[in-house]
Structure 1
Amino acid sequence: MGSIGTETPAGPKLPTVKLDTTLTELYKRGCPGDAGRLGWVSCGVTSLVDLTPDFPRNTKFLYQDHAFIAASRHELKNGNGKLQWSLAKKYLSHIAQRDAFVSGNAPVILFNLGQTPEQREHDRRQAEATISVLDPSQRPELIFCPGPAKIPIKEHGIDRLQYKVVLDGLQGYPLTHDVETHWFLNSKAELARSGLPTPRTDIIETDGCPPAPNSCCTLCADAARDTAHLPTIPAACTGPRGQWLAAQTARILSAVQQRAIPFVFKTQQAFGGAGTWLVTTDSQKTALLSCLSDHTPDSDSDPEEGEGLLRRLLSLLTPLNTHLHPTTILLTDLVPNPVADHGLTFIVTASGTAHFLAAAEQILTGDGSSAWVGSTIHYARQDALRARYAPLMQRIAAWVAQRGYVGPVGADVLESSSSPGSPAGGEVFIVDLNVRVSGSVALPLLRGHFVGRGLGCASSFSIVVKGGREEFIAKWRAPFEEGRMVVMSWYEDGEGGESIADVVVGGEDEARLRELVQAVREGTEEVMF
């Protein structure tokens, strides 16, 4: 029982966040002829496991996320609740909330992680708490549903859906653009063939697709019936499917073995930096070949652990998706003497012009991989960067619009110089093109919020936090109340005792920003997608 006369300290008073504009407003300006009610589907997807009973893995549009690449055969099963829950938190809540934060006054579709009424209510409370700091006129209408097959567009008067990544279940809904067109616009091979300035690339495509499992052997037929595991061609198969896989794998491994260092290895479709290997040493090349090929298991290890990435990926090629070339592999030149590295974000309009939003610097994991974990923006530099990259953005916008896409685009670009140490102003290369809402899009939309408080730069990044939202905000109470720290996504996992979050932090200058970001990171972990 509390003491008489004591007062409970008041909780933090968070300032209202007013965005300069929103994705919905930007889309309407870019496509003024589309007067219908637009809904946003902002989530991730995997081809690895079903995220929930109502959100199945993609089988037609194959994405190679980090889990698809790194998970062991033992983990790859729908009965692995720990893996499914980990991915669902990131793809169905974390990414969706982050995009919803800047979507504006429009319907945003979110998919339930939990199955019980209590769990679904928890999903809703987490998202509503995140957007509660927004100006009421900019808060999205959050619409929760079980999965892609059950989006209530008629019930909410939605005319068309704009989506982040292709979900198998989106086919059949009225969309702002065709799913297969969107797939090709985001494919690495299509970018290499586009005529846009990209590093020189060798494209290795697989021939045909493997025969049907039932026409091969008992091993393949049994594997196809095993719905719990990813349906890979068994290593012991010596029939037509095994022979096809062996031939395709040999071609790819031979190309990698013969490729001179340095180079970059890429799979066809990925996000968050997955599916990309930077190879600058012999040891990195050896490690890549080991990842691609079937490992020889140790005597005490599970024989199922000997499954390489190529067996996993190529086994998913079917007559349904062969025309999409999802198993294409790319070997690209390394950009020489890079002097600038920016993530461009802009809106492509129906007339084929580019509306510049930002040129941000990307934050990658500190372990030498290419995994994206956040971005930093310097507001005073944006006018100069806009002028610098305007011709390139216009070329991208024209190429994208000609294929029927209107909306947000992100482009990762490297600027090279003929000699090390020379100033920027050399050749610019597109190293990745993301025809969708990018992770850094909030930074330019928060310019007024930060600059109005004397904060000239900002950084957004994803973290895993021990504890919940209230404890985190209380710990960083002063930055939150000053408006220099904002939560854009938060999902509290009560059973796991931790939260996954996306925060954006502002600083007066680069040194003060770095100091605050580092302080936050010291007590948290990075999130990879």
Structure 2
Amino acid sequence: MLVQAPISLDYTLYDLYAVDNDGSTRPVLFYYPFGFKADEGLPVKFVYNFGLETEMKSTADPNALMEMVVRGLAQRYGFFAGNLHIILPTSTFGEKGESPNQVELEKTFSQIKHDQSPNLSFVTSPDDIILSPETGVAVVVPTDSILKLPHAVDPDTHYELLSKRGLAFSGLPTPPTVVIDAELGPDDVQDPQRLQQAMRRMLEPLDTYQIPFFVKLNQSVSGKGVFAVTSEARRAQIKKILGVQLQEMLGQINQINTHLYPSSFILQDYIPGEVVALSMFVTQKGQAIFNACCRQRFDSKGYWIGGQISYPDQETLKRKYFGIMNQIAEFLHQRGYYGPAGADIVTGDDGKHYTIDLNVRVTGTHPLGPLAGHFTQRGLTNATIITEYFTCSRYDFERAFKAEIADGALIICSWVRDEAIGLSHGGITIGGADNEKLEKLMARVLALSGIPEAVPDDSY
């Protein structure tokens, strides 16, 4: 039997939402993006582009793979929620009437001290969600399916703050950026000639923009929907990809979302320099509370797979990025946002900090901040969180790392299993006394990872 002391967090979202709130009700969390399907007969308001780039195909069902990732998000993002109320959709029910989603969530959160564990409730549809008039939901991203619910932050505003276009016009220091809008109305997208003209006009700037640069779709996440142009060959490849996808993007413009610019994209200069992931909390009065400053991990395709933190460096990093952190908090406060937020910051050769991405939501590296005491009290000064597919079950994973879990060096922040395809998806946090020991333990963890062999996608 696995013996593990309850995990104690330095603070939780429950604590952070109490700062500067003047006694107002804390929001209810809905950290399961795209958990419900919107009415297919209605136009979609909130369009997201990060599913458009598919350069590789796996032998496993891509929908099943994505479902595991999404289900895991609710666990990882809710890991330091504290006593907040989290609402989650149920998945298919087992023989005993329990949802596998529910079982895994409860097992994950049972690791945390009881007085810091979230209050979970499971619903089968948005109609099952009943909130008091003064309570709003805080979400990862706005979605159509729960639009009728009261929100802590206006969904339209939140969507704009999450967009690459919104950052370009924010007034925050960013690399030189060109915004390319569709300039089409809902009726125009039904006209094939206007559609083709718009596509040619939008793609034309890619031919002359100085390499190296980035192409970023308006709503992208974890590196998906972001294309690095590093050569003429890559320029041609990306233009071909966008040429195929742009018609679909433009077709998503309609009467209820045209003001949100769902089909825009940006071209942005590449600035060489050190990049960090800064995470914070913005209070209702606009105060910025520093959470963590991490290095990010990306896979070979440039997709986010985790982040790493050095706890002894946090005070120095807090001072270094204090100014840009407060600039971001002031901007978000002016737009009516409060809650967790993250930003990717690059420091150029000129010593200036530039915001290259703004993640106005809870982010993947947020749990590393509240876990500082847990790790440092055990002499573990470095920590990383990784997300991976695993070929083993949670039970077998826990057996393989029984000692590390028991002594607190390894924490399962999320775990989802799909028996039909024989894969799991986990969010694993690992602590090490130094980088070398951290890398060794991480290598052991990654030795259990895997996914059915991928094959090139020749559709482009």
Query: After TM superposition, is the score higher than 0.5?
Result: yes
TM superposition shift of 1:20 = 0.5
Equivalent position of 2:27 in the other structure: 38
**1:464-510 Cα distance to aligned partner (Å, 9 max, x none):** 11121110010111211111000000112122222111010000011
Given that 1:149 and 1:169 are in contact with CA atoms closer than 8 Å, whether structure 2 keeps it comes out as: no
Structure 1 segment 205-220 matched on structure 2, within 5 A: 205-211=181-187
Cα distance in 2 for partners of 1:63, 1:192 equals: 18
Equivalent position of 1:226 in the other structure: none
TM superposition shift of 1:16 = 1.1
**Partner SS state of residue 70, structure 1:** coil
Equivalent position of 2:12 in the other structure: 22
**1:97-140 Cα distance to aligned partner (Å, 9 max, x none):** 11121111121011123267757522211111111110000111
Cα distance in 2 for partners of 1:287, 1:370 equals: 16
**Partner SS state of residue 459, structure 1:** strand
**Partner SS state of residue 269, structure 1:** strand
CA gap 1:119/1:525 in 2 versus in 1, 3 angstroms: farther
Greater RCO (Cα-Cα under 8 Å, separation 6 or more)? 2
**In structure 2, what residue type is equivalent to 1:89?**
M
**Partner SS state of residue 405, structure 1:** coil
Cα distance in 1 for partners of 2:99, 2:284 equals: 39
CA gap 1:180/1:314 in 2 versus in 1, 3 angstroms: same
Cα distance in 1 for partners of 2:39, 2:443 equals: 36
Cα distance in 2 for partners of 1:394, 1:58 equals: 38
**In structure 2, what residue type is equivalent to 1:177?**
V
**In structure 2, what residue type is equivalent to 1:201?**
T
Cα distance in 2 for partners of 1:382, 1:32 equals: 26
TM superposition shift of 1:245 = 1.9
TM superposition shift of 1:524 = 0.6
TM superposition shift of 1:63 = 0.8
Equivalent position of 1:446 in the other structure: 371
Cα distance in 1 for partners of 2:126, 2:443 equals: 38
Equivalent position of 1:89 in the other structure: 68
**Partner SS state of residue 499, structure 1:** strand
CA gap 1:54/1:175 in 2 versus in 1, 3 angstroms: closer
Could you tell me the TM-score, scaled by structure 1's length?
0.81
Cα distance in 1 for partners of 2:122, 2:214 equals: 40
Equivalent position of 2:287 in the other structure: 353
Within the alignment, does 1:62 sit opposite 2:47 as a pair? yes
Deviates more, 1:31-40 or 1:125-134: 31-40
Aligned residues: 450
Identical-pair percentage: 29
**Partner SS state of residue 69, structure 1:** coil
Equivalent position of 2:168 in the other structure: 192
Cα distance in 2 for partners of 1:326, 1:472 equals: 41
**In structure 2, what residue type is equivalent to 1:510?**
N
Equivalent position of 1:219 in the other structure: none
CA gap 1:282/1:112 in 2 versus in 1, 3 angstroms: same
From 344, 347, 354, the counterpart of 1:412: 344
From 233, 245, 248, the counterpart of 1:309: 245
Equivalent position of 1:130 in the other structure: 108
Q: Give the unaligned 5+ runs of structure 2.
A: 453-460
Q: What's the RMSD between the two structures over aligned residues? A: 2.4
TM superposition shift of 1:316 = 0.9
CA gap 1:141/1:71 in 2 versus in 1, 3 angstroms: farther
**In structure 2, what residue type is equivalent to 1:496?**
I
CA gap 1:400/1:53 in 2 versus in 1, 3 angstroms: closer
Equivalent position of 1:236 in the other structure: none
Cα distance in 1 for partners of 2:124, 2:356 equals: 36
Equivalent position of 1:341 in the other structure: 275
Within the alignment, does 1:141 sit opposite 2:77 as a pair? no
TM superposition shift of 1:35 = 2.5
TM superposition shift of 1:84 = 3.3
Q: Give the unaligned 5+ runs of structure 1.
A: 1-10, 46-50, 76-80, 213-232, 234-239, 294-307, 419-425
Given that 2:391 and 2:451 are in contact with CA atoms closer than 8 Å, whether structure 1 keeps it comes out as: no
**1:44-78 Cα distance to aligned partner (Å, 9 max, x none):** 33xxxxx666797992111112x333289x99xxx
**In structure 1, what residue type is equivalent to 2:260?**
L
Cα distance in 1 for partners of 2:326, 2:53 equals: 34
**In structure 1, what residue type is equivalent to 2:168?**
A
**1:326-350 Cα distance to aligned partner (Å, 9 max, x none):** 1111001111x31x21100001122
**1:167-199 Cα distance to aligned partner (Å, 9 max, x none):** 112322222110001111111111111111100
Structure 1 segment 462-477 matched on structure 2, within 5 A: 462-477=387-402
CA gap 1:325/1:53 in 2 versus in 1, 3 angstroms: closer
Given that 2:90 and 2:99 are in contact with CA atoms closer than 8 Å, whether structure 1 keeps it comes out as: no
CA gap 1:54/1:396 in 2 versus in 1, 3 angstroms: closer
Cα distance in 2 for partners of 1:116, 1:490 equals: 17
Given that 1:110 and 1:144 are in contact with CA atoms closer than 8 Å, whether structure 2 keeps it comes out as: yes
